[in-house]
Chains A and B, each alone.
Chain A
């Protein structure tokens, strides 16, 4: 079974540019999460999809961040325009539906974003 994949693994962009991160969850997982770790700090929740619907987007820092999950499969996270403080590692995770009782979240390798 393939794990959670993320693309790209690294991205270096200039302040003001746009970047789009992609996450492909484990097949069949309804829940998809985005997290971010800013250098040296804790990993923080950004948002949670259940299938194609946003269940919780309370962690999104501001309206420069836009997440989508069309068709309930892969998800994209767009940052536009990027600022220096957006630098960090962006993790995606997925889990099966709550009804199954399998609550473990499986993480992708992360995308390291550097804004210069």
Chain B
């Protein structure tokens, strides 16, 4: 069945470091791909999305490119801030969302 695998956390970085959170997927067909973020004490928020191969989603300095050949949708940010500390979820959409296990990011000043 369809599934999403993302790197286990926590990921611990210093402010202004480069971030990569890996995400790969298995799916029949051509799903849309998403990154959701959950800040402490809050609900899930859509961070970015891509609906077809080679699309790049971007928001708040984060980017992810839909790579069909490697079935990946890795999340990147060039310079993280303390306020980026949160749990990040990769997901694919085939009518319902299928999530990865989430990756906790901790950014220290």
Interface on A for B, CB 8 Å cutoff? Answer: 4, 33, 35, 40-45, 48, 55-56, 59, 91, 93, 103-110
Contact = CB atoms under 8 A, between A and B. Distances in A.
Contacts of B4: 42
Chain B: interface residue count, which band? 20 to 34
B46 A109 contact: no
A108 B45 CA distance: 9
B102 A104 contact: no
B44 interface: yes
Contacts of B62: none
A33 B51 CA distance: 20
Given A35-B99, A42-B101, 11 more contacts: A4-B43, A42-B102, A43-B99, A43-B102, A44-B99, A48-B95, A59-B96, A93-B97, A105-B46, A105-B97, A106-B46
Name the residue among A43, A56, A103, A104 with the largest chain B CB count within 10 angstroms.
A43
Contact of B101 (A33, A41, A91): A41
Contacts of A45: 96-98
B25 interface: no
B90 to A, nearest CB: 10
B96 A42 contact: no
26 contacts: A33-B96, A35-B97, A40-B101, A42-B100, A43-B44, A43-B91, A43-B97, A43-B102, A44-B99, A45-B97, A45-B98, A55-B95, A56-B96, A59-B96, A91-B44, A103-B93, A104-B34, A104-B49, A105-B46, A105-B93, A105-B97, A106-B46, A107-B44, A107-B46, A109-B42, A109-B43
B27 to A, nearest CB: 14
Interface in B25-66: 32, 34, 36, 42-46, 49, 51
A56 B102 contact: no
Contacts of A109: 42-43
B70 to A, nearest CB: 21
5 smallest CB-CB distances across A and B, nearest first, come from: A109-B43, A107-B44, A43-B99, A45-B96, A42-B101
Contacts of B88: none
